[in-house]
Chain A
């Protein structure tokens, strides 16, 4: 009687590679249309919404933001620079984290085994 190993080998041999023969093209033709939303449009929408949100927040703050800005102008310039630099670091760190999460090539690098 045939043993397990021979049987499995025969089964694998009995299943030859099936040529594509236009199959992939037929599948591709049936795929729903890909998203064609331009990236710059998305960026502009985000920027526009950010400006709009800031404007609304400013107008609803009742002068609070304006007074804060006036008080900031009394601070020494080096302190303002440090404050701006710190804000930039925080925002930049978040931007880099999100960029890494959305970039497959970089994400794959993180999975590399050395």
Chain B
């Protein structure tokens, strides 16, 4: 029988069981790294560094996890905070979206399919809308969970998701049914 996240967390808390924590990392690494890759606009190296930092912080602060939210939601919050701190240091949090709207994209990523167009359109969204769309639409968090991760009001999350979706739909209108 596979242990639940709660079982593994309990083992970490009771015995400082690093193998149990390793299993938690294995389970959640893909979604956390995926989120950070979206936030950093596919800067894989930076995203993985931030993901490592996020998991280290999670390990050090695991006693503060009270189990009120899902473990993945708690991890997303830590990962998002890591991203914000890093962005502040790099002074990229403000104004970065407009710069990147004009940025040229890596020719290796060019792909004629919908997936490429979707990811391209997603990368063009402002950070707050992109983050909300990635958390709610891509990772399946509820609006309430996303509000907790981002530490913003629920209404703001809903607005950001709605606006982000509309922009994506407009950009991808050509792919819709005629």
Residues of chain A touching chain B, judged by Cβ–Cβ distance below 8 Å, are: 1-2, 4, 7-8, 10-15, 17-20, 23-24, 26-28, 30-32, 34-35, 102-104, 107-108
Contacts and interface: CB of A to CB of B under 8 A. Distances in A.
B115 A14 contact: yes
B41 to A, nearest CB: 14
23 contacts: A1-B173, A2-B175, A2-B176, A7-B137, A7-B168, A10-B115, A11-B118, A11-B122, A12-B140, A14-B138, A15-B38, A20-B26, A23-B33, A24-B29, A27-B22, A31-B18, A31-B21, A34-B17, A102-B14, A104-B7, A104-B11, A104-B13, A108-B10
B169 A32 contact: no
A34 B16 contact: yes
Interface stretch (B52-60, B89-97, B148-156): B52-60
Contacts of B30: 17-20
Contact residues on B (Cβ < 8 Å of other chain), bracket: 35 or more
Instruction: Tell me the dominant secondary structure on chain A's binding face.
Output: helix
B33 A18 contact: yes
B100 interface: no
B6 interface: yes
Given A7-B137, A7-B165, A28 B33 contact: no
B46 interface: no
A2 B7 contact: no
B26 to A, nearest CB: 5
Nearest to A9: B137
The 10 nearest A-B residue pairs measured at CB: A104-B10, A18-B30, A11-B138, A2-B176, A8-B137, A34-B16, A24-B25, A1-B176, A27-B55, A14-B115
